[in-house]
Structure 1
Amino acid sequence: MQKWCRFLLIQICETEGIEILKGVVNKEHVHIEYPPSKSFSEILKRMKGRTFRILLQEFSNLRKRY
């Protein structure tokens, strides 16, 4: 699941024009560089929302926990 989550975050960042400088998914910590025209809270909301929705579809056992 960590590899899938990492893949999703990379994919989202590429479509949003965001460069990931450093990231470790298992520690829930990522450093990103983003265009100043975009709001950090909006970027974070998109990343969390998209990954969570897709992970719930792929791993149905997560519904019980979250």
Structure 2
Amino acid sequence: MKILKKIAHFYYEGFRQMTWGKSLWVIILIKLFVMFFVLKLFFFPDLLKQNFKTDKERGDYVIENLTNIK
């Protein structure tokens, strides 16, 4: 447990003493939010839920396409 406290203290002190780093982390978090939430919401619709009503139909469709060798 002592080593975990040292590691946590190391990161806490490092983030506390940052000047430019805090701004960069905010930018990184905003970019991640845009990539994973906004892009998924608008550009990657859930086609399985739109085209199939039950979980069995969705599962059968996925298995059929994964095992279909062309």
**Which one has a larger percent strand, Structure 1 or Structure 2?**
1
**Which one has a larger percent helix, Structure 1 or Structure 2?**
2
Same fold (TM over 0.5): no
Which has more radius of gyration? 2
TM-score, scaled relative to structure 1:
0.31
